[in-house]
Amino acid sequence: MEPELNPDADDLPLRANTNHILVRHYVLDLTVHFERKVISGSVVLFLEPRCGVKIETEGGAQPGDGANSLKIIGTKNILSSNLLESTTDNDFTLVLDCCDLDVSKVEEVDITSVSALPSVVRSEKSEVSSVNPQASFIQELLSLPSSQWKHKHQLFLLCSCAAGAKDGGSLHFCQDRWSLQVRKRGSASPQEFPRVIRIFYETRPTGGSVRWTKDQDDRVCIYTAGSPINNRALFPCQEPPVAMSTWQATVRAPSECVVLMSGEEQAAPTEDRDTRFSVWNYYVTMPMPASTFTLAVGHWCQVTADLPPAVSCSHGDYPCRFTEQSAKSQRVIPHCVFGPVSLLRKAQMGILKLLPKCLAAAHTVLGVHPFPRLDVLIVPAGFSSLGMASPHIIFLSQSVFCAGSPDSDKSGLSLCGSRMCHEIAHSWFGLVIGARDWTEEWISEGFATYLEDVIWAQAQQLSLLEMAEQSDLKALLRWRRLSDELQNSEEELQILRPNMENTGQVSESGSSTVKHGLNPDKTFMQVHYLKGYFLLKFLASQVGEQQFIEFFRLFVKKYHGQLILSQVRLCYRQFLTSEQLVLLLELLLDEPELRAATLCALQRTYTLQNRDAEVRHRWCELVVKHGHTQAYGDVQHFLLHDQAMGVYLYGELMVHEDAEQQALARRCLSLVQEEMDQSTRRVVEEMVL
C-alpha cells in the first residue's frame, strides 16, 4: 500500500489514466436517502481507448511497438484488496478518480440487444474490428454528429439499462484512498477492455463532495460542495480537466424536494408511486470536465420571471450555441431562482430584480450566452464562499444580501449584483473556456473578477465617468486586499503558476497532481483572483478598455469549448456607496485607537448593521480591534449568518487574548460547527480550540 497523504499539506492526486482510455459519457442513476445521509445507485461509463496507444507491461515491449507505447507498472504494491488476485499484471487496469465511495460491484454491460437495433446509421469504415461488434457499435454511437444528439442520448440510456454480461460480466476491482482500479481478466490493452461498464456504489455521509446540511428554514438539503476533491466522492470519474465528457442523470428524491442539476433544460419531475419519490432527469450535450457536474436537492421554492422567447468552431462536435442565430439575439436566457421560504423576499428584490439586467449586460459585453438556461440557488449558511458557477446553475451565499429590509436601499444590491456578474462571467471564462491545468486558476478567476466590474457597470447603466470612478475604487480596495495577503501568507502560495515550467504536464498514463490542492490555506486565498485581475487591468490600460473587450469577444469566439493554458446605491444619509464605505472602514482600521463614542456614532450614522456583508465585515473587525462590547452582537450575527466571509474574524477574536472575545468565538463555533464546510471547520478549530 502507498502511504496516506497528509490532507493539510500535500498535493491533490488526479489518478485517472486518461492517456490510455477516456470516459466519453456518463449515465447516472441515483437515489437520495436523507435519513442515512447517503446517495446510492449506479453510474454507467462509456469508454473510448486513446488512439494509437499501445501498452507495455513489465515484461517489456512487444515486437513492433513504437514511440506510442506506454509502460504500465505492475500494481501489486498499490492494491490493497484480494479482488484483483485472479487477474495478472499483464491485464490492463482502468484507473478512476474515486474517494469516500463504497463500491459494491463493477460489471461489463451487455449491449447486444441495443447494438442489434437497426436505428443506428453505421459508418462504412469503422476503426474497430468487426471481431468485437459491441465495441464497434459504441465507436459509432460516440461518433454520431451533434445534429442527432437526442437519438444519441436515447441510445446511451438504452445501453445503460442493459443487463450485465453473462459470462465474465463481473469485473475485478479494488479501491485505495484516491482511486478505483478495474480489470477484466484477459484484457491486456485499452482496446480489449470493455467499452461499457456499470459501477454500483454508495456515497458516505462524510464524503467531501456532498454537503448534508439544513437550509435557512431548518429543512434538510444537500449540495455538491465544490471542494478540492470535486466530484470523486459523488461518483467514480475521471477528474483531470482534459477528460471532457457529456452526461445524463436520473435522480430520485423525496417527492417534496426539488432537484437542481447541471442540465440544458429545466427538468419536470415524475412521480414514482411505489417509493413516493420524484424522479428528475437532466442531461448535457456540451463535453465538460467531470468537476463541473453540480447537484442540489432540498425544499427549495421557485420564483420565476417574465421571459422573452427563448460560425465555424474549433472544438469537438456538440450542439453549439455560438453558431445558433436565435442564441445571438437572446440577451436574457430563461432563468429561475430557488431558495428557502425565509429568503424569498430578499431573493425577489435582489437576485430576481437584478438577474435579467446582469444577463443582458453580460450579453452586451461578451456576446452569445454559452448555456441555454440558468438556475440560481441560495445555498445554506454553511456554504464556504460567496458564489460558485457551474453549467446551468449558480450557487449564491445569503451573504450577498443586505441585513436590512431588502427594498430599503438600492446600494444594498451592490454586493449581490457584482457577485452575480462574477459568476455569470464564469459561463465564458471557467466553464465554456476552462483551464487545462487546475493550478492556473487565474485564467478563470482573474478574468471573472475583471469582467465582474465591466458587466456590473453595464448592468447599472453607468456613465463613463461613473464607471471609471467605480472601477478605480474597486481597484484600490483590491490592491489593499492583495497587499495584505502578500504580507501574511506563504510565498509559495502566492504564485499564479506554481507548477512553473511543468504547467500542463501529466504522467505517461495521464495522471497528475494539483499543487497545494489539499492545503486548506489555499482555499481562502485570493491571490489568483487579484493578481489575475491586475494583470488584465494593466493590459486594458495599455490598449484601451473598449479594445480590450473586443479582444475578449474574439478570444471567446476562438477558444470556446476548449481547455487552455496561460501561454496561449447610495447610503441613507451620507451618500456613500458600499465601496466608499468599505474604504472608510478600512482606513479607520489603520487607526491605533478609536473611542467608544466614535464607534457608536459611526454605527448610528451609517446603520452599519444593515449594510452588505463587505461593509459589515470591516465593521466587525473594528468592533473586535477596539473591544467595542456594545456591538458584540453584530459580530456574533456575522459569524452565524455570513460563514462564507467570517473565517478570519475567529482568529482576530482569539489573538487579542481577551476572555470575553475568546468566549464569543467559541460560542459561535459551537453553534455552527455541524453545518460548516469541513475544510473551513478545520481551519477555524485550529484558531479557536
Q: Which residues pair with 103 in a beta bridge?
A: 201
| H/E stretch holding 37 | none
The single residue of 107, 239, 423, 485 carrying the catalytic annotation is 423
DSSP 385: S
The grid coordinates of residue 361 equal 449586460
With contact defined as beta carbons under 8 Å apart, do 470 and 453 qualify? yes
Q: Are strands 301-304 and 295-298 parallel, antiparallel or unpaired?
A: unpaired
Could you tell me if 182 and 81 are in contact, meaning their C-beta atoms sit under 8 angstroms apart? no
Measure Cα distances from 43 to 31, 112, 297, 480, 621 in Å. Answer: 12, 19, 19, 47, 48
Rounded alpha-carbon distances, angstroms, from residue 349 to 303, 334, 344, 576, 649: 11, 18, 9, 21, 29
Round to whole Å and give the CA distance between 455 and 655. 39
Do the Cβ atoms of 288 and 263 come closer than 8 Å?
Answer: no
d(CA 522, CA 646): 16
* Contact in structure between 562 and 315 (CB atoms under 8 Å): yes
- CA 551 to CA 469: how far, in whole Å? 23
Q: How many CB atoms lie within 10 A of CB 487?
A: 7
Which sign does the torsion angle of CA 149, 151, 155, 160 carry? Answer: positive
Q: Has 423 been annotated as catalytic?
A: yes
Contacts of 636 (CB under 8 A, 6+ apart): 664, 667, 668
Residue type, 623: V
Secondary structure of 559-614 as H, E, C letters: HCCEEECCCCCCCCCCCCCHHHHHHHHHHHHCCCCCCHHHHHHHHHHHCHHHCCHH
Rounded-to-integer distance, Cα 287 and Cα 289, Å: 7
Q: How far apart are CA 513 and CA 507, in angstroms?
A: 10
Alpha helices in 335-463 (DSSP H): 344-349, 351-366, 414-425, 442-460
Return the C-alpha cell found at 237. Answer: 470519474
> What are the E-state strand segments in 313-445?
335-339, 374-378, 387-390, 393-396, 433-435
Per-residue b/e over 86-111, b at no fewer than 16 CB within 10 Å? ebeebbbbbbbbbbbbebeebbbbbb
- Between CA 570 and CA 371 the distance in angstroms is 34
The stretches of 53-143 forming alpha helices (DSSP H) are 112-115, 133-142
Residue 355, φ and ψ in degrees, nearest 5: -55, -50
Helix axes 647-655, 678-688, angle to 10 degrees: 10
d(CA 122, CA 141): 9
What backbone phi and psi angles, to 5 degrees, belong to 342?
Answer: -65, -15
The set of catalytic residues is 423
